[in-house]
Structure 1
């Protein structure tokens, strides 16, 4: 049948099982929005307050479900406003498809009104991108975009469509989506046998889990693997929930704000088994000193990650769920009692602690954990509150912590929380923000209200840019350059002005009461939680130091 380009866009979205898109209309994309209006009973459109919010919402939708998230924007500034969200998804391997519309083909390259080469702009931050100048190629291009976004190591794909192409007609024939298979082509028996030999010879193995284990759905295989090799487990920020954070073998996060147990344990192990991790600088600390007494076995779907940031002893390249399944099939149960006892003694000696009095970030996160029974989808912005949320909420399941790990995007959380709440209407979504981050995209409170989303926005408000201030305090002789937010912004009034409920809390008792009200509410609630401006994230590894040099507040006091 003959369809316009705009109609083809909608039909292709329906082919791919898309039920929700996030976006903001404009002149160049009007034809697509007109068709979207006609299909509003099949595809829900969430109008965000800003295109960046739309890209983060698509990201949150994707992270919380494993499906491809979709965002829409018009040409020029509409398209460029997606860039931060696309880059965030790229750094954390999140499958999103961004559809933008540009000026007509005859106007391209002529500095036309609201023209931008968005394909050129986003080339370094997408798995692939397209500008479709021929309507006959539009359907197959959109189908390919979804396939690429999901395949192997997931990531964002952008499709840019000139306005005249959305109006032109061509023959359209529906197709079933391509079934994306797990990436197993590079898994060799030789690599598996090398891995098995390293595992069987190890006396002090340690398992380090990253976001790849979440993406591949490898949690059950991972649990079986850990039980078989009898090893402790730590994770990266992106790996939260891949291994049950309440399991006795779990020792917490590794790296700059990792636990002493994980940092000491990895520094003492004789085999580090890295599963779906990219060895970021925040994990490694001083790369030359990282696990330098251990052999390192890396399991990852992306060959580009092998030996990129740290040289490994051996690797198996492929989907980590598939790799773990094949290793489990050949592994007999092992026992490392002395090693496990040693690590468990570290856990007992070096628990995460915080000041027992007053309202603080760690207390807030622990109380949220208790009151949600560990079953919420937690979302964060970036900074001290992000680390506290990683440290003090125990993630038993994957896809329950959504946070910007690679790009560290302030302003990510509220948009992502909207996407997650839309995708998971029966779950409680909580976004933890600092006051600095909340300011960046707090306009999305209006979106949450319009969509009647019962998400809870917790603002941990210390009236400073907390993480930067912490570095200034520790490493810049307390020169607080541009990090003090000494103005009169009232987040409670702001929330109420946008139609949400706003509650200010200053004590533990007030927080418990306010959070219970928020849980009972069916509408968005903003909690403005006032804490001390000098609270810090502990433990910490100084820049350039080895992770074994991790220190906490007591260590500084004892110097």
Structure 2
């Protein structure tokens, strides 16, 4: 039986197990929306296309499934660009579907025409402009395969309207073969043998964990490795939760705003075991001062990351889970008591701390109290800025896929829509959004999406009435010449929340915060807490540009 290409697309999505799509309709994508009428797939109507791609990202991050978003041509497609770049940098599996003007109009500057495949070429794993309707089923099969395998990432399918309306004989491929795409998932046995030998010989090993361990579902193997070779564990921002944050071997997040103990451990180690991380500049600081005494083992599924920033003495290309499973059978139990005691002493000496200031509510205290009231049993989403770092430093993440944030791109506005996606993906979980007054105002229109979907989000706005991280940078790099960082007007976020059906609460001190926390975590339904925090609080520790990560500023 012949069906339209648009109907075929919907059937393909159903056969890929897609449960929901985040999207925003328009003229060029209309045939696909018409076909969705007869589908079991749920559509989440966001208030902006950026909300759709960030929502799909949040869903993908907490479920491990491929997120799907959809938009029309022109501005609908270009509004996805930031979210696609974010997914590309953070290795989030996404399939984005965009409408396009009819093939006869492509290249004519038609109404709402943009070359979205050209625009997104550098920020997607792959993209397709569907010219032949009969190829659509194979394209969808390939898109999901590419998005979810190897180093995961976004794939875009651009569908012209006339192609979408073309009739085809539908048959979905059972398998996919891509000649130029063969990710290496198993590490080379000789390299794994050598890695095992180095691990047994090392006296001061450190395991450096990135988001690849989370994406690779390798948390259990990581725990076994750390306990087998008695190695301290440090994490990137994207790796938080891959190793239990309350485990004695966990030291903390490393990098420019990382824990000083974690940075010292990396600086003094003799073997750095890097798992699913890419040595980005926010982690390494000055390259020459990063792990200067260590031999570096680098396990990553993306060969392009090996020795890109830091020289790897022993590269292993492969999936982290497969490589660790192969390693574990080659290792024997060992102890490094002197090294473990040294790192434990640093961990105690440089535990996350902050200074009280009379009359001001401290943001770190808010994060710690959210943790205490939830017992750490919640998903935490954040935007980007100071609040993001405070959440990373002061909330103890115990399991993978518990922390949803924008890492590589650092996209403000990510928080609320990603929290919506996370809550839809994990409806039985408590989802907490920690955001700032700057980031929140970028996508707060998605409060309507949360209300429409009946989501019980718990939102905490750390409100210093300014762009706090930019202000902090200007303090250190511009000799306190502050420019364009103070908001002369900030709305009442609590009242705004009430307009959208949230319980809105404003807090200015610890007593009010405790009452708000009781309401937030004991009352069903959505709650928005506007927290007036110390306006000049900085994120500490802080490694200044050009310095080693062992040379961090801290509270005096």
TM over 0.5: yes
CA distance in 2, matches of 1:116, 1:89: 21
Tell me the CA shift for residue 347 of structure 1: 1.1
Tell me the CA shift for residue 352 of structure 1: 0.8
Please give the per-residue CA displacement for 1:228-261, whole angstroms capped at 9, x wherever unaligned.
Answer: 1101111000000110000011110001011111
The question of whether the paired residues in 2 share the 8 Å contact of 1:243 and 1:396 is answered with: yes
CA distance in 2, matches of 1:518, 1:96: 32
Which one is further off, 400-409 or 492-501?
492-501
3-state SS in 2 of match to 1:415:
helix
Cα pair distance change 1:509/1:18, threshold 3 Å: same
- Tell me the residue number matched to 1:480: 482
CA distance in 1, matches of 2:381, 2:175: 31
Tell me the CA shift for residue 496 of structure 1: 2.2
Tell me the CA shift for residue 495 of structure 1: 1.8
CA distance in 1, matches of 2:255, 2:172: 49
Tell me the CA shift for residue 193 of structure 1: 1.8
Instruction: Indicate which of 54, 58, 71 corresponds to 2:69.
Output: 71
3-state SS in 1 of match to 2:104:
helix
Tell me the CA shift for residue 143 of structure 1: 1.1
The 5 Å alignment of 1:334-413 reads 334-356=334-356, 358-413=360-415
Tell me the CA shift for residue 71 of structure 1: 0.2
Please give the per-residue CA displacement for 1:173-207, whole angstroms capped at 9, x wherever unaligned.
Answer: 24446699995556212211221222122111011
- Tell me the residue number matched to 1:515: 517
CA distance in 2, matches of 1:185, 1:503: 49
Unaligned runs of 5+ in 1: 555-559
Is 1:454 matched up with 2:456? yes
The question of whether the paired residues in 1 share the 8 Å contact of 2:186 and 2:322 is answered with: no
Instruction: Indicate which of 44, 47, 61 corresponds to 1:46.
Output: 44
Please give the per-residue CA displacement for 1:351-384, whole angstroms capped at 9, x wherever unaligned.
Answer: 1111346422111111111111111110000010
Computed over aligned residues only, the root mean square deviation of the Cα atoms, in angstroms, reads: 1.5
The question of whether the paired residues in 1 share the 8 Å contact of 2:150 and 2:185 is answered with: no
- Tell me the residue number matched to 2:149: 151
3-state SS in 1 of match to 2:238:
helix
- Tell me the residue number matched to 2:324: 324
Q: TM-score, normalised by structure 2?
A: 0.97
Which one is further off, 491-500 or 529-538?
491-500
Which one is further off, 271-280 or 473-482?
473-482
- Tell me the residue number matched to 1:224: 224
The question of whether the paired residues in 2 share the 8 Å contact of 1:286 and 1:544 is answered with: yes
CA distance in 2, matches of 1:283, 1:179: 37
Instruction: Indicate which of 480, 491, 499 corresponds to 2:493.
Output: 491
Tell me the CA shift for residue 338 of structure 1: 0.5
Unaligned runs of 5+ in 2: none
The question of whether the paired residues in 1 share the 8 Å contact of 2:298 and 2:315 is answered with: yes
Cα pair distance change 1:185/1:495, threshold 3 Å: closer
- Tell me the residue number matched to 1:261: 261
Q: TM-score, normalised by structure 1?
A: 0.97
The question of whether the paired residues in 2 share the 8 Å contact of 1:182 and 1:319 is answered with: no
Count of aligned pairs: 552
3-state SS in 1 of match to 2:31:
helix
Tell me the CA shift for residue 488 of structure 1: 4.2
The question of whether the paired residues in 2 share the 8 Å contact of 1:449 and 1:523 is answered with: no
- Tell me the residue number matched to 1:557: none
Please give the per-residue CA displacement for 1:288-310, whole angstroms capped at 9, x wherever unaligned.
Answer: 11111111111111110011011
The question of whether the paired residues in 2 share the 8 Å contact of 1:421 and 1:429 is answered with: yes
Tell me the CA shift for residue 76 of structure 1: 0.2
The question of whether the paired residues in 2 share the 8 Å contact of 1:208 and 1:233 is answered with: yes
The question of whether the paired residues in 2 share the 8 Å contact of 1:15 and 1:176 is answered with: no
The question of whether the paired residues in 1 share the 8 Å contact of 2:59 and 2:422 is answered with: yes
